[in-house]
Structures are given as structure tokens and as C-alpha cells.
Structure 1
């Protein structure tokens, strides 16, 4: 006699219905709802619906046997429920410890329990199918007729309790959400007989439909890359937001970059520029992971190409800065990596991290590529990275896109590579009527004397931003030298990498802040 006979199978199935529908939905409905007064949000209702579908399918299996249509209903209900619980949990799982929506049960919020419940449903159904070798149990799957099974007392109790919970949920839904065209709410009030019904949810259908939602934005403009973007640029400094812009910086010198930078598979364009005052050298990056160290005359000393596909995705490497002798580079998605000179390089680590190297270089952070997690700037990319020589902090500035327009100064501690602050950049200068800084598009910059000299491609303007209060305290017109991808300050000069006519030039400009 098989242990998993029809009697034992029915006991397991009834217990599953009890654990999936009656107990969790009952606790949420009766205890949290009627006793605590916690109002279910729209996603909560959808998650409960998934549990009801799974539970009702289990009841039908108890009554009519293990038929394919009921198995499908269980799995479809579980798939629907997993999607909804993951969707709701994604709003809170990234938050700090102890945070969440609504009350918790045994230390976990209801949507977190939902993930576990639905996962267990899928696993349990798989195990039941695997061990359902009893002829009567397995025979129901292939039956074309309907077999009405007798119910034992335990099954009747579970079914009665489950139907009561379903009815109670229907009453609670009517009280809190109402009848069509009224609907549930994302942030509901407590359960009450006071009428708070709303039909505002239907206004969402007026918004443009998108498969990707708000978390996908257009890639930023990258100097030298032949890619069109929706943002249109104006090269006239006087067309910007400031009522007054100081005269253009003078060009001291200009010459072609003596070598061609390359990234993985020989691809990419020259992007970031950094200066190391300690040993009078420059660092240059390529969008596809190439990093180059040069002398004061931009003659190559060493280079390496990181193993870009293996590890955190850095998208395109767009900006670099020196932290000591370490050249830190960021992708436009705020994911960073670092390379530094070294005397004794471990052969395995060199092979593991680099696709190509001239030698004498190593990954400063081994296999780590720290991602800078932001809050205000979450939906924006960056094209800049600069280290403040007077502190341990590095700074980035966001570029606007179709979903978020703010110019945000991001502060990162170079010691732990974590976010230390975010501030929306404001203007300390007079602005034209009904104008702001939201359309300035910063593609390069460097820091000196507590000021971030940030170049905006839109309006071809050099912004001087005070790091202490994130205010623009000066603005200079820039000469027409091409698309600037990187800037580095060396004494009385600003060195810029300018892309023009498919060539990269090093342009030396007068530093307006030089003493």
C-alpha cells in the first residue's frame, strides 16, 4: 500500500489549503483588518486574490480529484501571486532595517510572507505530483468524467473556514474599496464604515503606456560617440539661464592627443581626464574600459583594459579622477572601478581583471566595482567624477533626462565608496525670468579650492559651483573647441579633451580661479 494514498493525499491537500488560504488571508483580513484597523492597499488585495485562487483550486482538488485544470489553476495563481508580492516587496526591501509598509507578523511584513507562501505552493505542488503514484490519485489527472469525492470531517472544516475567510474578505473589500467604478487605493485609510471610496485610479490610463516603466531612461550624450539622443543642445552661452555670463576663457595651447585610446575589443572613445599633482601625470579613460597613464606631455607611460563584461556592468566609462595614485573611473550609471601603478603585480590578478596590460598596473579594489547608490539622483546618469584635493570626497553631477531634470551634486566618500550626500544645485547668480538650471548638461569638470568647475555642453558654459552649499557662484562662456568629454586642472591651466571632426585634441585653457 502506497503511503501517499488518497486518504493521505487529501489530508495533505486540506492542510495546504489551510496554510495558504485560511490562515494567512484570515490573519490579514480579521486580525490586521477588523481588530487593528489596517486598510489593505491595492497590491495587498491582488496578493490575497492569488491566495484565494490557489486555495479554491485546492478545494476543487479535494472534491473532484487531481485534475489537470485544477493543477494549472494552482500554478497560475501562484505565478500571479509571486509577481504581485515581488512587485510590492520591491518598494520596501531596499529600505533601511525595520522599514516597511503596514504592520508585520513575526518580524516580516505581509507581502514578504506572501513571497514565501507562493514559493512553497509551487514546491509543494511539484512534490505532490512527483509522489502521486497511487492509482486512484494519479488516475484523476487523465479522467474525462467527473468523480465527486466524499469529504472527511477535517476537509469539511478547512473548506468551511476558507469560504468564511473569502466571504469576510469580500465584505472588507466592499467597505474599503467600494463597487465599480470605485477601486482600491495605494495608500488606504484604516478600515472604517466612513465612506472613503475613490475612482481616481482610472486616471492612470491617461498616462503613456510603457513596457519598461519609469526606471529606464535614455542613455546620456557621450562626446565622440556617433549616437543621436533626444536632447537638443544650444552652443550660445548667452541663451542660458544666467542674466550675465563672463567672457570666454582664453586658449593657451591645443594639440592632438598623441595616441589613440582603446577599450575592450578595440572599441570605445576617449572619455575622462584626470591630473595627479603628486607625480605630475595624467590619467585618461576610454568608454569601453581602457585606462591610460601619461606623463606631463601626454606621452603614454602605461595602459590597461579591464575585463569589462565580467563584473558589475559599468555601461560606458565616462569620467576619471585620481585618489592618491589610484585612477578611479565611473560609468555613467555610477558604477566605478580603479587602477593603480604597482611594483609587484600578481600574475593571476592581472589576468583576472585585465584583458590587456602593459604591466606595472593592478586593480586597486581587486574584483570589486562599487556602485554608488543614490536617492535624489536615482533616475539620472552622470558624466563627471572629480576628487576634492582638500577632503576625502569625490563628486559627481547628474545630467537631465526625459524623466528627471534636476542638476544634482553627488558626494561620495573615497574611503568606503559610499554615498555621503546629494544636493540639488541652485544658483547664486541672477537668472532670467522663468528660467532655472535644469537644462544645463554637465559633461566634464574638476575641483580646485572648494569649487567644482563644471562644463555644460548646453549653452557651452563653465559653471563654478561652490561645494559647501551646491550653488553656482560664477559662470563663464567657453570657446568653441568641440565636444568636451574630460577636464583636469593643473595650476593656472584647465586641460580639456575636446572631440572635433572625429579627432581628440588636448586643449589648454586659462584657469579663471588661478591665484
Structure 2
């Protein structure tokens, strides 16, 4: 089960040589190459790999998740840490390593590759008794945060597949995930869940729009989605394979545009701010975020 093992270790960059990082080798011919306009170190409490990234336009804050179930809120320049917590794995529903981060309705959330997710509310004025209760599910940050809700998504098509990406769409009022292929299912799919009851709304395999030039006998199967961002009516899917960002039109369920980038060896989280793509990657042992436009 080589593919599954890759999922568990992708964030640490152990399989960098397993991926083709050249955007030109993907299925799509007419890709739009992005220009890197900046790259910088992200200073966290330690060197745990960043696996999730999100940006909230209203609060002007970034949210970062790390592999070890940590959440950081940072300012819009990713220079200062505003908040921090570290979750346990085994309270109520089993979490595994965190692979994604998401803002939702004033709460901050993380998801593990087994589709279990949890959201926390900032509660800096809670009583000592409330903080002691929060210690059940928070190893760090229990003085300032409390659990909002925790659950697991249940899928049909993707029941035997893991996920590395997740985001909430204010436009559709739904959460989205994308799976990664494995030895059992060589293709990947996208699923959405209503924010009213967290139940499955749609689940589908994206196709390629007719306006794209597609290479003979090629399809989307070997793209490997490690991050996503819901922006307006579209979903942007980050693929470590072929260093690409795929623009998904949810109305047609088709990829309508493909962007390529270069210079990153372990791209695994995506956020959009001011029309620019922010991509997190572990480079030479350090957490980096590169900006492309």
C-alpha cells in the first residue's frame, strides 16, 4: 500500500522524489505559469511541518495547522502569532495527524486525513473551571480556547480514501474536501457537506473542460491534491504532482483552468489573499510560504 504510506508521510517531505514537480508534464497543455513574487520563513513554536493554511478576509488573519494537531492564528503578514493551541488525538472521536486548516463562523478548525475535524472558539475570559475542562481535549491553549464542535465526514465514493485538503465556502455555505488516489482507487474525487447538518451533499470525480488542451490518453487521475482554497464560486485545488493549481467550476464540476508554479519541493497547503496564491512547503527542513501571482 505504497500510496497510503505516502499520505501519512507527505507533509514531512520524505517522498519528494516520488513526485514529478514539472507542471509541463501534467495532462493539461495550456497551463498558465505563475510568477513567484516572494518566499519567507514562517516562525512557529518549533519546526513541525505546516500542513494546513487558510486566510480570513474579515479578520485579516491567517490560520496555520501543523502535522502535530496545532493551530496558529497569525497576522496578515504572517509575522506575528496571535493565538496558539495544540489538540489531543483521542477525545470523543479519534483524530490522526492534521492535514488542513479552516476558518468557519468565528471558529478555527483542523482536519486529519481520516476526515475527522474539530473547531475551537477563542475564549480568553473563561473561568478556571472551564479551562480545566478544556484540558481534556487541549494539551496547550486550554486557557484561551474551548471546543466548539467535533465530528467526522462520512462519504460514499471516497470511503476508502484519505484526504489532505479541506475548506469552507461562504458562497455555497458548504465544506469541501478532495481525496488522494491510492492502490484501491486510482482516481480522486471532491465532496461537499452542508454547514447546516454536516451531511454529505455531493460527491463527484471532476472532469476536464472542453476548452482545455488535454494530452492524448491523459486525465486528472495522477494529480495529487494536497491543499485547497474556496474562493467565491470556485475551488482552487493544489496538486503537489506537477506543481499545479486546478481551478474547479462547481456548477459544471469541471476543471476550467490550470496554473503551474516552480521552486517548491513539498507544496502541501494553499490560501488565497488579495488574488495571490500563498503556498506552504517544507524546504531544506524549514517551513516556508511562497507567494505566486
TM-score by structure 2 length? 0.90
Matched, 1:446 2:247: no
Paired with 2:214 and 2:9, the residues of 1 have a C-alpha distance of 28
Matched, 1:237 2:23: yes
Check the 8 A contact 1:314/1:336 in 2, yes or no.
yes
Which range moved further: 216-225 or 496-505? 216-225
Paired with 2:12 and 2:277, the residues of 1 have a C-alpha distance of 23
Match of 1:256 among 16, 27, 41: 41
Compute the displacement of 1:221 (Å): 5.6
Matched, 1:462 2:245: yes
Compute the displacement of 1:493 (Å): 1.7
1:383 counterpart SS class: strand
Paired with 1:423 and 1:226, the residues of 2 have a C-alpha distance of 29
Check the 8 A contact 1:409/1:470 in 2, yes or no.
no
Structure 2 spans left out of the alignment, 5+ residues: none
Paired with 1:376 and 1:224, the residues of 2 have a C-alpha distance of 25
Compute the displacement of 1:424 (Å): 0.8
Within 5 A, what are the aligned runs for 1:132-281?
217-218=4-5, 220=7, 222-225=9-12, 227-228=14-15, 232-246=18-32, 248-261=33-46, 268-281=48-61
Matched, 1:391 2:172: yes
| Deviations, residues 398-444 of structure 1 (Å, cap 9, x unaligned) | 11111102221110122322221101111102321111111100111
Give the number of aligned pairs. 286
Aligned position for 1:300: 81
Paired with 2:199 and 2:55, the residues of 1 have a C-alpha distance of 23
Structure 2 CA distance for partners of 1:354 and 1:494, relative to 1, 3 Å = same
Paired with 2:13 and 2:237, the residues of 1 have a C-alpha distance of 23
Name the structure where helix makes up a greater proportion of residues: 1
Compute the displacement of 1:469 (Å): 2.4
RMSD value over aligned CA atoms?
2.1
Higher relative contact order (CA 8 A, sep 6+): 2
Within 5 A, what are the aligned runs for 1:345-384?
345=126, 346-357=130-141, 359-365=143-149, 369-384=150-165
Name the structure where strand makes up a greater proportion of residues: 2
| Deviations, residues 83-131 of structure 1 (Å, cap 9, x unaligned) | xxxxxxxxxxxxxxxxxxxxxxxxxxxxxxxxxxxxxxxxxxxxxxxxx
Paired with 1:356 and 1:243, the residues of 2 have a C-alpha distance of 47
2:134 counterpart SS class: helix
2:136 counterpart SS class: helix
2:73 counterpart SS class: strand
Matched, 1:284 2:70: no
Compute the displacement of 1:234 (Å): 0.8
